[in-house]
Amino acid sequence: MGSGPPVIEPSYTVATVTDKISSVVLTRRTPVGWIIGFSVALLLTMTFLTAVLTLFAAGIGIWGVNVPVAWGFAIINFVWWIGIGHAGTLISAILLLMQQKWRQSINRFAEAMTLFAVLCAAVFPLLHLGRPKFFYWLFPYPSLHGVPPQFRSPLVWDVFAVATYFTVSLLFWYVGLLPDLATFRDCAKRKLAKIVYGVLAMGWRGSAIHWHRYDTAYLLLAGLATPLVVSVHTVVSFDFATSILPGWHTTLFPPYFVAGAIYSGFAMVLVLAIPLRAAYGLEGLITPRHLDNMAKIMLATGLIVDYGYVMEAFFAWYSGNEAERFMMINRMIGPYAPAFWATIACNGLAILALWFPRVRRNVPALFGIALLVLVGMWLERFFIVLTSLHRDFLPSSWGMYYPTIWDWATFAGTIGLFFTLLFLFIRFLPLISMFEVRALVEPKT
Amino acid sequence: MNADSAEPSGRRKFLATVAGAAAAASLGAADAGATGGERGSKRKWGMVIDLDKCTGCQGCVVACRAENNVPMGGQTESELDRAIYWMDMMTIAEGHYPELRVQFVPMPCNHCENPPCIKVCPVGATHISEEGIVAQIFTRCIGCRYCTTACPYTRRYFNWATPAWPEELKKTINPDVSVRSKGVVEKCTFCHQRIRAAKEKARAEDRPLTDADVCRLPACAASCPADAIAFGDLNDPESEVSRLARSPRALRLQEELGTHPKVIYLREAKWRE
């Protein structure tokens, strides 16, 4: 990805880059589209709050979960959201270490996406608890109980993985924002904006010593964040892989989950980037080359996921384990078979179109495929969680899971929460890193 | 001060005292084990259920419910198929009408020696006792239901709503068993409150706990009119459960999973493969 067309439109200068990006927040009127989008997202967030309040009042009996399917939407959504976050970290940390300059136009909002996705993910394990008020028992703190968390449980590892991920993502995002916040402070016309951005910029003056410290800190944070791209979803996959249920108990899960996470994450970046660049006229900064590169990563990780599907079926057959075989056949022709085949269609077939450069350059097609991938990855988690649980080892304890209106309301609500935060971010913070893109400007001779 | 002469004899005396105390302590511990003390006990509680004797009367299910304050749930919860059974009666239908045979399988918790449920509990609310009982601390449970999904026998139940009893049954709540709150997991405990009571009774009478004390001790075993359920110490080769467990009819559920259940079923005919 080193050579090829320029990363940003060659006509941009240092001044126009800053103007273009800062005008979204500082000078332009709030577009009607933003107001409509934000209202819809806020409405969904209110739905989320209603669903959560009802849940706290009535207990998780309002959801469709039951014995034997004691895990439902909460776990599916948790895995889906946390997976989406992974693309942001990959773009900001791994691509930084690999000196991929094209990342500089997309890393800022991808990092914001990570942060909000992790936030949406983190609420689910809490809501999932039968007694959410005692969630803090999962943390090792000096308590009068004298009972520490049980460290053999992957759920405790999850707490550490997600908490670390959120903290590092937040730090990384905020440190990256500092020079741009200072630019906003200096460019803002209104006093309140000057004060707020001034406080947030933490006294950044852009001196050589500031930049020196900044570069060191940013590189260190990138180094810290890099293993998280692999470790967080590995730990999430352990939730399933360490149990003995057929369909969960497999060594394949960690790489399969990590690839799936990056895959769905890039799909989300595309789903966000495509309308954003159109709405704010940023086609010169988020160029076809960006879209092409992201599509390529999506194709690569998607093929790893597809390999996972094939291997799951192969293991089920080759192991000779009756329970595994039954699980696989049930997955293909059982009550949740539509979810399985829809996943194969979205994740297995639709992305094959990305082999063709023509498709990768076709923006609407790319948007459509990315949406299908997001749906496909959600359905994948759906069938992984449900098909293993609803047909347990003993036929006497088989059951079904049907999501209730509250399951859907909570899920839709987190989508609303995600977009509410994203709309606020677009409105009040630079959605593209100005100082990093300025470095991409071709010197005029 | 006669230090020179006193010191060696003092040291010798001291060492002798320490050695004596250590010996007494170890003897005391061994003694406690023999008379049924919790610490250092070599017991391994197990249950044998004779399916050939079981008539499917569900007496065990009802007795368990009454003994362990298992909530009724009410109509709403029952309609949602969320009733809780520490002891459940499963049925396996074999053949087709009119050549139909139904096998009844009373299913308590298997109290596995290698339980998949306790490893996954994030807060240590479930653990295996020294005597092999897979216990659940209701007040510690945060309700993540990891154990419920991990149990290959689906023997763990969750309080989806606030547990409720009809007004008449509230008076019959067993004071020896704590009632649970909404949002926690509950399960069979082999009626550990009865085991504790039996141990205390034996101690009060200054005699060891015998197989006869415990053989029909859990509510399910006590209520079985067909005498199909036996309970006792699997480590005692003379106990009734050990004798029955050596029967060629003995089998355990899902043995290939390596969970080593301590509930052993007896059945004459070969199980359906």
Find the residue in A nearest to B148 (Cα). A70
pLDDT digits (tens, 9 = 90+) for B18-56: 666 555 554 444 444 343 444 556 899 999 999 999 999
* A1 occurs within a structural domain: no
Which residues, at least 6 apart from A151, have a Cβ–Cβ distance to it below 8 Å?
A157
Dist. CA B132–CA A420, nearest whole Å: 52
pLDDT value of position B273? 45
The CA-based diameter of chain B, rounded to the nearest angstrom, is: 102
Domains along the sequence of chain B with CATH:
41-266 (3.30.70.20)
Mean pLDDT of chain A: 90
CA dist list (Å): B56 to A373, B97, B228, B249: 51, 19, 10, 19
A378: closest CA of chain B, how far (Å)? 20
CA distance A437 to A31: 24
Looking at the whole model, is its pTM more than 0.95?
no
Is the model's pLDDT at A270 over the cut of 90? yes
Determine the Cα–Cα distance for residues A15 and B30; give it in Å rounded to an integer: 86
B257/A244 touch (CB, cutoff 8 Å), yes or no: yes
| Predicted local confidence at residue A21, as pLDDT | 81
User: With an 8 Å Cβ cutoff, are A242 and B120 in contact?
Assistant: yes
B116 has a pLDDT exceeding 50: yes
Lowest mean pLDDT among A90-104, A217-231, A299-313, B233-247: A90-104
Q: pLDDT value at position A83? A: 93
Cβ pair A60:B183 closer than 8 A: yes
Q: Is residue A90 part of a domain?
A: yes
Q: Which residue of B has its CA nearest to A61?
A: B160
Beta bridge partners of B231: B47
Helix (H) or strand (E) holding A432: none
| Chain mean pLDDT for chain B | 85
- The percent of residues above 90 in pLDDT, for chain A, comes to 63
| A443 assigned to some structural domain | no
pLDDT band at A70 (very low <50, low <70, confident <90, very high): very high
Range of the domain at A52: 14-438
Of the candidates A70, A153, A392, the beta carbon closest to that of B122 is on A153
The string of DSSP codes covering B53-72 is T-----HHHHHHHHHTT---
User: Which of A28-32, A118-122, B127-131 has the weakest average pLDDT?
Assistant: A28-32
Checking if the pLDDT of B6 tops 50, the result is: no
Tokens 């080759």 correspond to A318
DSSP string, chain B: --HHHHHHHHHHHHHHHHHHHHHHHHHHHHHHHHTT-STT----EEEEEETTT-----HHHHHHHHHTT----HHHHHHTT----SSEEEEEEES-TTS-EEEEEEE-----SS-HHHHH-TT--EEE-TTS-EEE-TTT-----HHHHH-TT---EE--S-----HHHHTT--TTSPPPPTT-EE-----HHHHHHHHHHHHHTTS---HHHHTT-SHHHHH-TT--EEEEETT-TTSHHHHHHTSTTEE-TTGGGS---SEEEE-SSPPP-
Is residue A63 scored above 90 in pLDDT? Answer: yes
Q: Is the pLDDT of residue A404 over 80?
A: yes
Question: Among residues B141, B161, B138, B149, which one has the least CA distance to residue A133?
Answer: B141
Segment A395-401 mean pLDDT: 87
**What H or E segment, with its residue span, contains residue A404?**
none
C-alpha neighbours within 13 Å on the C-beta side of residue A376: 28
Q: What is the spatial distance between Cα A391 and Cα A28, in angstroms, rounded to a whole number? A: 56
Instruction: Work out whether the CA dihedral A403, A404, A410, A412 comes out positive or negative.
Output: positive
The average pLDDT across B222-244 equals 95
CB contact under 8 A, A130 and B142: yes
Residue B269 has pLDDT above 80, yes or no: no
Judge: A67–B154 Cβ closer than 8 Å, yes or no: yes
On whether the CB atoms of residues A389 and A70 are closer than 8 A, the answer is yes
Give residue A269's pLDDT band: very low, low, confident or very high (50, 70, 90). very high
Closest CA to B245 of B34, B45, B40, B33: B45
Q: In 3D, which of A354, A377, A357 has the Cα closest to residue A305? A: A377
Tell whether the model's pLDDT for residue A444 goes beyond 80: no
- Report the pLDDT averaged over residues B136-140: 93
Overall average pLDDT of the B163-180 stretch: 88
Q: Give the bridge partners for A183, in sequence order.
A: none
A364, part of any domain? yes
Whether A83 contacts A259, CB under 8 Å: no
The tens digit of pLDDT for each residue in A147-173 reads 889 999 999 999 999 999 999 999 999
- Over range B203-222, report the average pLDDT: 94
pLDDT for the residue numbered A143? 83
How many domains does chain A fold into?
1
**Is residue A80 scored above 70 in pLDDT?**
yes
User: Is the pLDDT confidence value at A188 over 70?
Assistant: yes
Whether the Cβ atoms of residue B156 and residue B187 lie closer than 8 Å to each other: yes
3-state secondary structure of A296: helix
- Per residue in B55-73, pLDDT (tens digit) is 999 999 999 999 999 988 7
Report helix, strand or coil for A320.
Answer: coil
Nearest CA-CA distance, residue B232 and chain A, Å: 26
Specify if A431 maps to a domain: yes
> Mean pLDDT, to the nearest integer, of A177-188?
90
- pLDDT cut 70: percent of chain A above it: 98
CA distance linking residue B65 with residue B166, whole number of Å: 13
Q: Which one is predicted more confidently, B111 or A89?
A: B111
| A134 Cα to chain B: minimum distance (Å) | 6
DSSP string, A331-390: HHHSTTHHHHHHHIIIIIIGGGGGGSHHHHH-HHHHHHHHHHHHHHHHHHHHHHHHHHHH
* pLDDT band at B181; cut points 50, 70, 90: very high
Name which of A77-91, A130-144, B87-101, B209-223 the model is least confident about. B87-101
CB contact under 8 A, A243 and B116: yes
d(CA B189, CA B127): 11
Q: Which of A51-60, A144-153, B146-155 has the lowest mean pLDDT?
A: A144-153
What's the N-to-C CA distance of chain B in angstroms? 86
Decide if pLDDT at B239 tops 60. yes
- Specify if A36 maps to a domain: yes
Give residue A438's pLDDT band: very low, low, confident or very high (50, 70, 90).
confident
> Mean of the pLDDT values across residues A68-72?
92
- With 70 as the cut, is the pLDDT of residue B10 above it? no
* Closest C-alpha to A336, from A273, A386, A267: A386
Q: What is the mean pLDDT of residues A130-136?
A: 93
Q: Does A193 reside within a domain? A: yes
Cβ of A393 under 8 Å from any chain B Cβ? Answer: yes
- Residue pair B126/B136 in contact (Cβ under 8 Å)? The answer is yes
Q: Is A142 within the bounds of a domain?
A: yes
Percent of chain B with pLDDT over 70: 83
With contacts defined as CB-CB under 8 Å, which chain A residues touch B110? none
B75 pLDDT tier (thresholds 50, 70, 90): confident
- The 3-state secondary structure of A83-133 reads HHHHHHHHHHHHHHHCCCHHHHHCHHHHHHHHHHHHHHHHHHHHHHCCCHH
User: Per-residue pLDDT for B11 more than 80?
Assistant: no
Q: How far is B59 from chain A (nearest CA, A)?
A: 19
pLDDT for the residue numbered B94 = 80
Choice between A239 and B20, residue whose per-residue pLDDT is larger: A239
